[in-house]
Structure 1
Amino acid sequence: MGVVTVREEQAIQRLTDRLVDSYPAERVESAVGTARKRFEGHPVREFVPILIERIARRELEAANAAAAQAEGVAVQPGSVTQESSNPVRGNLASGGRKLVADKRPMAFAAATVLVVVALVVVFAVRRPAEPAAVTATPGVTTVHGVVGSEKLAFFEDPRVVDVLSRKGIKAEVEPAGSWQIATSIDLGKYDFAFPSSAPTAERIQRARNISTKYTPFSSPLAIATFQPIADLLTAAGVLRAGPVPTFDMARYLELVRTDMEWDKLPGNTVYPVHKNILVSTTDPRTSNSAAMYLAIASHVANDNTIVQGPAAEQAVLPTVSRLFVRQGYTENSTEGPFREYLSAGMGPTPMVWIYEAQFVEATVRGQIQPGMVLTYPSPTVLSQHTLVPLTASGDRIGRLLATDPDLQRLAAEHGFRTSDPTQFAKVTADRHVPVATDLIDVIDSPTIDTLEHLLDGVTKSYN
């Protein structure tokens, strides 16, 4: 998202918040969304937010005037905004409309306001020690989404819930594997889909003919392991030591091709297990992280070149299929194997494929124990967590996640890299998380069509 676009999105978010203070949230979203469409494709953007606000206000006031006229009540221009911004006056004046047809109702309303205000003051004086009651915000819109499981903790964070509530949104989300979101889940009942990469989001966009998307944060893929395993891999030439260890994917694939087992590694006395050296992943048929693992492995197996065309696809399939088929059962989302890594130790999961954000978030929560090691595959992929709005409400939450400074800060505390790198840097520095500050060896994933062909090939290998 360019600088101009970010500024424009922030300005539109601010004007939306102003309008929500005076009008029902759902009508504001509709009015702003309609106004935005009038300026799509215009090269000059400086005054677009101002024009959108004027158009939206005009539409909202006209709608309220029409509603008042239908009820036989006269409305003064601009009175909707003035009245509805005051919840007490708005309730007394029939939903925020200013009555002018008869002075007696106005006098009665004014007297009632004085009584209500007096009661509020007396109540506050009588109960000074009690905090203000937390009640549901009027006009809050419930927005339903399906998200990659690694983002569930973010949406359940009470601080995130509070920020969204203040913006007039209550987010209700369900977790699923990202590839599963793109291929098999019925999205008709959701307002937004939030998979963990651009390719999975692109598949959703294609299927539903949607051009809009938001990428509020990202996370590189990584491998979590343990110090004894790291020492073995360093001796085997797979791990390169440094402030942040690097996992050599080319050397690793050599061991996979030869069916190397842990107990065959020279000098292995810490993990003499009779099983193949394999990174534990999720199911590539349902999970984005496994699909990205496939993208990296296919790139390395294809002589460090992005796979293109049927010949290249068939050439790499025998190698990349081994990475998955020999694991046995795999789960649908990264939450499963990472949870096992945290709780069960290196016995069942000596190496697990994760998002960097998961390790950082677990460190913030105090779940990372001494001897747990974060490494970065070389090459790696930067997974762009991409939100696809399916309704106007979904579009609003996408804009909020991408532009709201509080939500961006909280995303960094959950381990995600945001548009402001200083936020992530502060979190990792404060918690002493050894992460790669500069991601250099990053590759692009193959096209969505090639990735689907490779996934189909791996699926056939299971059978």
Structure 2
Amino acid sequence: MHEPEFKAVDPRKRFLLWFVPPLAVFAAGLTVLLVSGHVTGPFRHITVVRAMLASKRDFFQDEQVKRILMARGYQVHVTPVGSRDLARTPDLDSYHFVFPSGHVANEHVKARRTGKHAVPFRPFFTPVVLGTFREYAEALVKAGVATPYDRGEQPFYYNLDVDQFMKLVVAHKRWSDYKLANGNRVIIQSPDPCKAYSGAVLVGFLASAVDDNPPQTVADAEARAREVKPHVDAQGQAGEDMAPKYFAPEGPTHAVIAVIYEHQYLAHQLNRRGADKERVLLYPTVQHQSTPELISFSPEGDRIGELMMTDPALRRRAVELGFHSLGWNGATEQDFAGHLTGQGLPEPPSGETGRVALPKAELFERMLDVVGDCR
């Protein structure tokens, strides 16, 4: 019978056998993170940039955009506000940059910054469009005021003749007149024109339907506004952003036709696993492209603006969020259409029709005051 054997194991070897494999895995992982720049993030200096933004704040609130900026050493603290309120805020100078949505607010901000640091950047644009639902778009086709843009049995985009559409509005037509269960009036719902730029653009759309020529005097602007006002008042109390209501599951009960931005619709479609075939866009025969300006008040704001214009990751993310990227010379970059078609979404008719002629900033401001009873 053999006696049992006992082996003495050096505790140092046992420790190494247990510790070395995990250490090797950790070291390899650390190397990858260091190369990618993720580990250094918590240890590097992060510059917090204060910004006041209108509807384009959804770009800076995107999680991927936040990560990209953090990797570059910046964190943007967003204060949300409507474009017109932004331009009038008393503490405007306390921010590093602002990002209003339209030219009226842009001009007000620049006027207030006369003689001070005010550097504009135009990284992208997005058209103001009308979001609706397929059955309502088809009803407008039957009414002779809309036509499908993209081919196929279920188009995503339709052209809308605003002049002819306004005849339906003036005649107090109801959706039930076109064999729909909805007995409400055919109207467009928008954000408050006193606060949101997209709401203001609707006033411009309706004013152009009254007369293609923009008003040239204060008296003309007030008279045009009084013609438009009943059609804006018909929608009832307005909020600051129609997109949340339009994209909600019960969207048709909130807003049959809603003024939104094209990028909001495209982002909605691109973020889904399958296309939302119920929601479609109406493109007015006279379009308006919102080309927001990031207006910097400081070196920190300048750096964010420069990154928006040059950083490949931010530029790519802007397209993924539905924006048309613009270069330094204002030319549209060509990756927009390719990205959409690559995701199975047809290219929209952005910029293919005439542009709505908005009045001069001060006259347009007066029109908005009259239409919205702004205070």
Q: TM-score, normalised by structure 2?
A: 0.81
2:189, 2:259 within 8 Å by CA — same for their partners in 1?
yes
How far did residue 134 of structure 1 move?
A: 5.4
Residue 27 of structure 2 corresponds to residue 128 of structure 1:
yes
| Paired residues, number | 334
Residue 192 of structure 2 corresponds to residue 283 of structure 1:
yes
| Residues 184 and 135 (structure 1), Cα distance of their counterparts in 2 relative to 1, 3 Å cut | closer
2:245, 2:251 within 8 Å by CA — same for their partners in 1?
no
| Residues 258 and 312 (structure 1), Cα distance of their counterparts in 2 relative to 1, 3 Å cut | farther
What do residues 280-311 of structure 1 show as CA deviations (whole Å, max 9, x unaligned)? 11000100111111122212212x12222134
Instruction: State the partner residue of 2:11.
Output: none
Q: Helix, strand or coil: the match of 2:199?
A: helix
| Residues 135 and 396 (structure 1), Cα distance of their counterparts in 2 relative to 1, 3 Å cut | closer
Q: Helix, strand or coil: the match of 1:245?
A: strand
Residue 124 of structure 2 corresponds to residue 217 of structure 1:
yes
AA in 2 matched with 1:306:
P
AA in 1 matched with 2:292:
H
Residue 57 of structure 2 corresponds to residue 151 of structure 1:
yes
2:246 maps to which of 338, 355, 360: 338
AA in 1 matched with 2:172:
D
Instruction: State the partner residue of 1:35.
Output: none
| Residues 355 and 185 (structure 1), Cα distance of their counterparts in 2 relative to 1, 3 Å cut | farther
Instruction: State the partner residue of 1:60.
Output: none
Instruction: State the partner residue of 2:112.
Output: 207
| Residues 185 and 353 (structure 1), Cα distance of their counterparts in 2 relative to 1, 3 Å cut | farther
| Residues 150 and 380 (structure 1), Cα distance of their counterparts in 2 relative to 1, 3 Å cut | same
Instruction: State the partner residue of 2:80.
Output: 175
Instruction: State how far apart, in whole Å, the 1-side matches of 2:323 and 2:357 are.
Output: 19
Instruction: State how far apart, in whole Å, the 2-side matches of 1:343 and 1:326 are.
Output: 24
Instruction: State how far apart, in whole Å, the 1-side matches of 2:372 and 2:281 are.
Output: 29
Deviating beyond 6 angstroms after TM superposition, the runs of 4 or more aligned structure 1 residues are: none
What do residues 19-70 of structure 1 show as CA deviations (whole Å, max 9, x unaligned)? xxxxxxxxxxxxxxxxxxxxxxxxxxxxxxxxxxxxxxxxxxxxxxxxxxxx
Mark the runs of 5 or more structure 1 residues left unpaired by the alignment: 1-122
Instruction: State the partner residue of 1:110.
Output: none
Instruction: State how far apart, in whole Å, the 2-side matches of 1:361 and 1:379 are.
Output: 23
Q: Helix, strand or coil: the match of 1:415?
A: coil
How far did residue 326 of structure 1 move?
A: 1.3
Residue 169 of structure 2 corresponds to residue 256 of structure 1:
yes
Instruction: State the partner residue of 2:181.
Output: 271
Instruction: State the partner residue of 2:217.
Output: 309
Query: Relative contact order (C-alpha < 8 Å, sep 6+): which is higher?
Result: 2
Instruction: State how far apart, in whole Å, the 1-side matches of 2:245 and 2:162 are.
Output: 20
| Residues 255 and 437 (structure 1), Cα distance of their counterparts in 2 relative to 1, 3 Å cut | closer
How far did residue 144 of structure 1 move?
A: 1.0
Instruction: State the partner residue of 1:445.
Output: 358
Q: Helix, strand or coil: the match of 1:306?
A: coil
Root mean square deviation of aligned Cα? 2.6
Mark the runs of 5 or more structure 2 residues left unpaired by the alignment: 1-21, 34-38, 151-156, 327-331
How far did residue 150 of structure 1 move?
A: 4.2
Q: Helix, strand or coil: the match of 1:276?
A: coil
Instruction: State the partner residue of 1:433.
Output: 345
What do residues 312-371 of structure 1 show as CA deviations (whole Å, max 9, x unaligned)? 2133223321232111111113444334xx321323311111100000000011186222
How far did residue 376 of structure 1 move?
A: 0.6
How far did residue 437 of structure 1 move?
A: 5.2
AA in 1 matched with 2:124:
F
Instruction: State how far apart, in whole Å, the 1-side matches of 2:182 and 2:47 are.
Output: 56
Instruction: State the partner residue of 2:7.
Output: none
AA in 1 matched with 2:132:
T
Instruction: State how far apart, in whole Å, the 2-side matches of 1:409 and 1:365 are.
Output: 15
Taking the TM superposition and a 5 Å limit, the aligned residue runs for 1:360-379 are: 360-366=266-272, 369-379=276-286
| Residues 315 and 135 (structure 1), Cα distance of their counterparts in 2 relative to 1, 3 Å cut | closer
1:162 maps to which of 67, 78, 86: 67
Taking the TM superposition and a 5 Å limit, the aligned residue runs for 1:62-141 are: 125=24, 127-128=26-27, 130-131=29-30, 132=33, 133=39, 135-141=41-47
1:221, 1:377 within 8 Å by CA — same for their partners in 2?
no
1:176, 1:333 within 8 Å by CA — same for their partners in 2?
no
Q: TM-score, normalised by structure 1?
A: 0.67
The structure that is helix-richer by fraction is 1
